[in-house]
Amino acid sequence: MERYPVIPPADLAARLPAGFRLGAATASYQIEGAVDEGGRGPSIWDTFSHTPGMIMGGDTGDVACDHYHRWESDVALVADLGLDAYRLSVAWPRIVPTGSGAVSQEGLDFYKRVLTGLRERDVDTVVTLYHWDLPQPLEDAGGWPVRETAERFAEYAGVLARELGDLVGTWTTLNEPWVSAFLGYASGVHAPGRTEPAAALAAAHHLNLGHGLAARAIRAELGDDASVMVTLNHHAIRPADPSSAADVDAARRLDAVGNRIFTGPMLRGAYPQDLFEDTAHVTDWSFVRDGDEALAHVPVSALGINYYTPTIVRGLAEGEEPSSSGGHGEGSATPWVGATGVDFVEPEGERTRMGWLVEPSALSGMLRRLRDDFPGLPLIITENGAAYEDEVSTDEDGGRAVHDLDRTSYYSGHVSAVADAIDDGVDVRAYFAWSLLDNFEWAFGYDRRFGVVHVDFETQERTPKDSALWLRDLARSHRDRR
């Protein structure tokens, strides 16, 4: 398939506002390793990855990128690439090993070292409180489907705000709660691997509640001006045929359980009524208590958006079976609870190693819709990137190189799409590439590489790919224009 043309970094930098930030992102379980060091307790991903058959190749995150021991060189790498910002996540079981109660000073000290190193290099930070590594004891007590997990999450948030608040630029409470709820508790392709549709909806509610409680806990420690946001994998959903009532309704159903189940409580203070109607055969939603939706609704400084590919759907005829789960792994059950009679359309076009369609215009279109739905709310692209087959070669000077033109093209097209949205008046404040490093890619283990920096998992050698050098030049060009 023909790639999108790579735009010269200086040309693209000229289209980005002066205050725009360019960065890269990572997540704790995917890079840190050292799962039994520094007082860290077990997480659901430790348990899940050690369960036979759950992870491609039998891989685990036990070592990953060994970032726990190599954080200084990784922080220097961020600075060497000229990035304005770095998004990282804190491992809850490294701070509160059993999920509640005693706090690990060793864990706090580790993140203090990392955040101080970034500050010394003038790199702004976005810190994610929860990127899926729930302490295993909390899952043993019921996990996100039970209310107490949200309450423990707020306690953990308060600890981080109190101990790390002077080193953090922006807090994001949750990363992709849709994945936590529906891949973890409905389709079972992510930890903890449960296939319980009613529990998945309860998990979504308690994630909403946890967001609101955690944001309040942060601001109770740091003041009302503390910068707090949440990151959603807001699906760019559209009907295959806009003139088909069946396709339009299929898109509505996915939008309800894929998007509005979170934006409703978090940003409007109420669940959408059609979500209740679509899922009435699954649950009566009695886990929602009076006042919960108001608790989930907290003013946010920005909304984080993770975008990789569009979701194109059609309505199924009676008796017709869906052909896929929409690019979210092929589990024994659907992650789309309540959205029956929906199929996912896979049109022709360039695809990544994940099989995901490359369509930058869907990103700019989604940003415009979010602007229209939530006027005045700043947006941040907290993840955007692609997995491709990478080949390490030797350059003329004898050094290692990875000439990843596909990934460079992907970034060029998508940063340009963000610039298109900005040109249309959308308030987009920052863009984070996913990911800084090749890492443990969840159920795919080490088989999928998203990093702009290649990691040799045998030697832990880091090699910036051409995509990293393109992002470096974009960041430098943009900085020069300020």
> Is the predicted pLDDT of residue 1 greater than 60, yes or no?
no
> Is the predicted pLDDT of residue 331 greater than 60, yes or no?
yes
From 149, 62, 36, 151, select the one nearest 457 (Cα to Cα).
62
Which of the four pLDDT bands, split at 50, 70 and 90, describes residue 2? low
Cα separations (Å) of 468 from 17, 88, 156, 403, 405? 21, 18, 34, 10, 11
Q: Which residue has the tokens 């930098």?
A: 13
Angle (CA) 255-261-263 rounded to 5° is 90
pLDDT at position 3 is 79
For residue 129, how many C-alpha atoms fall within 13 Å in the half-sphere facing its CB? 33
- Average of per-residue pLDDT across 340-346: 92
- Average of per-residue pLDDT across 94-118: 98
Give 43's DSSP letter.
B
From 186, 149, 174, 193, select the one nearest 232 (Cα to Cα).
174
CB 234 within 8 A of CB 259: yes
Cα separation of 113 and 108, whole Å?
9
Give backbone dihedrals phi and psi of 89, rounded to 5 degrees, phi first.
-120, 150
Q: Which residues pair with 302 in a beta bridge?
A: 229
Q: What is the pLDDT of residues 43-73, one digit of tens each?
A: 999 999 999 999 999 999 999 999 999 999 9
> Is the predicted pLDDT of residue 101 greater than 80, yes or no?
yes
Angle (CA) 431-416-376 rounded to 5° is 55
> Is the predicted pLDDT of residue 135 greater than 60, yes or no?
yes
Cα separation of 46 and 30, whole Å?
11
Cα separations (Å) of 240 from 303, 312, 344, 380? 27, 6, 9, 28
Instruction: Return the percentage of the chain with pLDDT > 90, whole number.
Output: 94
- Average of per-residue pLDDT across 279-308: 98
Mention every residue, 6+ apart, whose C-beta is less than 8 A from residue 138. Answer: 99, 100, 148, 149, 152
Q: Where are the alpha helices (DSSP H) in 186-240?
A: 197-222
Q: Which residues pair with 169 in a beta bridge?
A: none
Q: What is the pLDDT of residues 204-244, one digit of tens each?
A: 999 999 999 999 999 999 999 999 999 999 999 999 999 99
> Is the predicted pLDDT of residue 469 greater than 80, yes or no?
yes
What is the 3-state composition of the chain as percent helix, strand, coil, each rounded to the nearest 5? 40, 15, 45
Give 333's DSSP letter.
S
Mention every residue, 6+ apart, whose C-beta is less than 8 A from residue 141. Answer: 148, 149
Q: What is the pLDDT of residues 398-413, one digit of tens each?
A: 889 999 999 999 999 9
**390 or 319: which carries more pLDDT confidence?**
390
**Across all residues in the chain, what is the average pLDDT?**
97
Q: Which two tokens mark 92?
A: 């809850």
Strands (DSSP E) found in 355-419: 379-383, 392-394, 400-402
Cα separation of 42 and 131, whole Å?
15
Query: Hey, which residues are catalytic here?
Result: 176, 383
From 431, 434, 466, select the one nearest 450 (Cα to Cα).
434
Q: What is the pLDDT of residues 361-387, one digit of tens each?
A: 999 999 999 999 999 999 999 999 999
Which of the four pLDDT bands, split at 50, 70 and 90, describes residue 41? very high
